[in-house]
Structure 1
Amino acid sequence: MTFGAEGREERRAVPVPRLVDHEVRRREITGAVRRVIVDGGLEAVTFQSVAAEAGISVRLVQYYFGTKKEFLLATHRSVMETAAARFMQRWEALGSDATPREAISALLNELLPLDDARREEAIVLGAFNTASISGNGITAEETLAAPRALVAVVAEQLRRTQHLEPSVDPELDAELVLAAIGGIAQGMLPGHYTPELAVDLVDRLLDRILGTKQLSAHPTNI
């Protein structure tokens, strides 16, 4: 046992372990996975490339995600959760008196790569879609929860218009709308569609599904 000033100095010199927020660490890793996908595609994603991008050790990545598939699926979920948070903010800004058209338009515009954050999401989701087609370790069934949820949301809004547009089939039209938006979003990435044209296409699509723009009480901000 050590006494006196020397002992106090010795006690002060003992390092205190730093507390780690594990959820923050997981988000750092999935954020790194996103950036690796954007730069080099899904095939560029390895434990080594993700660790280097995140600035941490490979062993630490393995600690949080035991397999590559685990951090890929966690990354897909993180993209969809980020988008969902934006949807909710957008809908809250619209208010409870928003028309079905305004609600659907707000959601669809959030799916378009109209800024850097949404462009990154579109690239990442496109990479996952390609992987599910090619059988590159990810199946379509493993990434379908979010698209199905989007279809359900759009279908619910379309049901609100049935007293005005009885020809609308909510489920089928929701599938059609989201299939079209997926194509438009992917077409924007190489520059096939400009942001202005993409927004116009969304309006035109909703005109075809819902009829005239009279269903909208006020314009939706992008």
Structure 2
Amino acid sequence: MPRLVDHDERRRQITGAARRVVARDGLEAATFQAVAAEAGVSVRLVQYYFGNKEGLLLATHRAVIEDAAARFGGGPGQRPAGGPRDVLRGILAALLPLDAERRADAVVLAAFHAAALTGSTVEARAMLGAPRALVDVVAALLLGARPPGGDTQDPAEDPAEDDRAGTALDAELVLATAAGLVQGVLAGHYTPDAALALADHLLDRVLGPVSPSSSASAS
């Protein structure tokens, strides 16, 4: 009886190999031959699953993003534990290169970002879906973590709409700052602990400091 092949697992095996090649040698090194050798499969099999190098690289980029989402409980069908602020902190911690696994993923994403800037290998627009979705997630959490806007004297104005617009900008700011912290850790400008402390400070600036009563109840 022929052995059944788990195609999803085989794709993960190949994209995992591609991640290791990119983290170690850079994006240009992720040829079918190099990835196949790293994965212990044939070049033909890599081509069968991904078609061409762009297909392989985009699948690899998506795998890194999905793993980051899984780290803070944002995978399909999962609901992160804790309140909105706790989940936001979890997202930032998942993005920062605080250990070897997250550092390798950050190096891979940095390689993709550099390639997108130069227009080589991959196109920037092909990688926009996941980051835009993350902005929406962060904006929703910020809305849940802060009280509604105050009263307005103009009945025609919609304070809820104002809240959403301002919060969308705050979400962009949070993630842009997180991206800067990631680069800072990779370059050695910040230690992982310092980057996490700055992330906490960012949340204090955006949401207000955690009250002593909230800290006591959280502990």
TM-score (norm 2): 0.84
Alpha-carbon distance in structure 1 between the residues aligned to 2:74 and 2:174: 21
Provide the identity percentage: 54
Give the direction of change, closer, same or farther, for the CA distance of 1:215–1:21 in structure 2 (3 Å limit): farther
Once superposed, what is the RMSD of the aligned Cα atoms?
2.4
Question: Is this contact kept in 1: 2:146–2:207, CA < 8 A?
Answer: no
Larger CA deviation: 166-175 vs 104-113: 166-175
Residue-by-residue CA offset, 1:68-126 (whole Å, 9 max, x unaligned): 0001001111111111122217985634xx2x322211111111111121111111111
Matched, 1:25 2:10: yes
Rounded to whole Å, the distance in 1 between the matches of 2:42 and 2:143 is 51
Please state whether the residue corresponding to 2:214 is helix, strand or coil: coil
**Separation in 1, partners of 2:212, 2:169:** 20
Aligned-partner residue type, residue 113 of structure 2: N
Report runs of 4+ in structure 1 exceeding 4 Å deviation.
89-93, 164-168
**What amino acid sits opposite 1:197 in the alignment?**
A
Q: C-alpha displacement at 1:149, in angstroms?
A: 1.1
How many Å separate the matches in 1 of 2:136 and 2:212?
Answer: 20
Q: Is 1:197 the equivalent of 2:194?
A: yes
- Give 3-state SS (helix, strand or coil) of 2:122's partner: coil
- Partners of 2:201 and 2:25 lie apart in 1 by 34
Deviates more, 1:72-81 or 1:155-164: 155-164
Native 8 Å contact 1:102 1:216 kept in 2: no
1:140 aligns with 2:137: no
Select which of 43, 50, 64 maps to 1:79.
64
- Between 147-156 and 173-182, report the one with greater CA deviation: 147-156
- CA separation of 1:165 and 1:127: change in aligned 2, threshold 3 A: farther
Specify the code of the residue in structure 1 equivalent to 2:172: E
Shift of 1:32: 0.5
| Equivalent of residue 51 in structure 2, options 66, 75, 78 | 66
CA–CA distance in structure 1, aligned partners of residues 112 and 74 of structure 2? 26
Q: In the TM superposition, what is the alpha-carbon distance from 1:137 to its structure 2 partner?
A: 2.5
The residue identity in structure 1 corresponding to 2:86 is E
User: Structure 1: which 5+ runs fail to align?
Assistant: 1-15
Equivalent in 169, 174, 186 of residue 171 of structure 2: 174
Larger radius of gyration, structure 1 or 2? 1
Q: Which amino acid aligns with 2:194?
A: L
TM-score calculated relative to the size of structure 1: 0.83
Amino acid corresponding to residue 41 of structure 2 in structure 1 = I
Instruction: Spell out, residue by residue over 1:158-190, the C-alpha distance to the aligned partner (whole angstroms, 9 max, x if none).
Output: 112442776972000100010000110121113
Q: Is 1:206 the equivalent of 2:203?
A: yes
